[in-house]
Amino acid sequence: MKTLAKEIGRLAVTKAGPNLTINVGDNWRQIGGPPGNAFVSSTYFDLAGLAIDDKTLFFDGATVQEASSPSFNPATAGNLLRVADIMTTSPITDNEAILYITDANFAGSPTTLTFDQTIYGRVRVYNMDLDNLAGAYAILLSDNQTGSLSATASDRIYCYRVVVYDGADGRFDLLAARYILSAHAKEEPEYQYLMRLKRSYELQNEPDRD
């Protein structure tokens, strides 16, 4: 078994009136702005070194590590922050990544991702309420996971971190995250492997969708 790690850096954003501005956020993209309230960062795992000798990759586990919850300054009741972490065998657009927050990978989702293509999917909603203003750290309202850990013949796993902010003027800070994958390579019957390889190739070479 091999354990792989990729990091996505910290994001700090200030809202002043209708405009949101990235203060800290290497490799983060602001979508629809400024003044857009959605932000996306992406990277990928290169699995070519593991998928050798025509073997299929089977995932033993996937997770995201973080140092702490997001924080607000000033802490204002009603501030809402939604965070999605996605690992997939198929690349998606920034807009599809944002839509994952509300529609995930269920049937009819505009992201077009299927359950099998989503190795790991997690959507969390954070809020600031009156009882927690002194702490400045957001309270976790919901935590939903939608990944499959399905085996793949793909040589890449694409990672996306998405943040959408709705709230008062001020600043929010989201610390860096570490994406973790544990996998092992295993031989399959030739016809199964060839079909899986064909499907992986098709998914990675689909035309870009706006």
pTM of this structure: 0.87
- Residue 43: phi, psi to the nearest 5? -155, -170
Number of H helices, E strands in the chain: 2, 13
* Count of beta carbons in the 10 Å neighbourhood of residue 58: 16
Q: What single letter denotes the amino acid at residue 36? A: G
Q: What is the pLDDT of residues 70-108, one digit of tens each?
A: 999 999 999 999 999 999 999 999 999 999 999 999 988
Residue among 40, 9, 44 nearest 176 (CA):
9
> pLDDT tens digits for the chain (210 residues)?
789 999 999 999 999 999 999 999 999 999 987 778 999 999 999 987 765 556 788 899 999 999 999 999 999 999 999 999 999 999 999 999 999 999 999 988 888 899 999 999 999 999 999 988 888 999 999 999 999 999 888 889 999 999 999 999 999 999 999 999 998 887 765 545 455 455 555 555 554 444
Tell me which residue of 16, 171, 12, 174 sits closest to 79, measured CA to CA.
171
Helix ranges (H only) for 13-106 are 94-103
For residue 160, the SS3 value is: strand
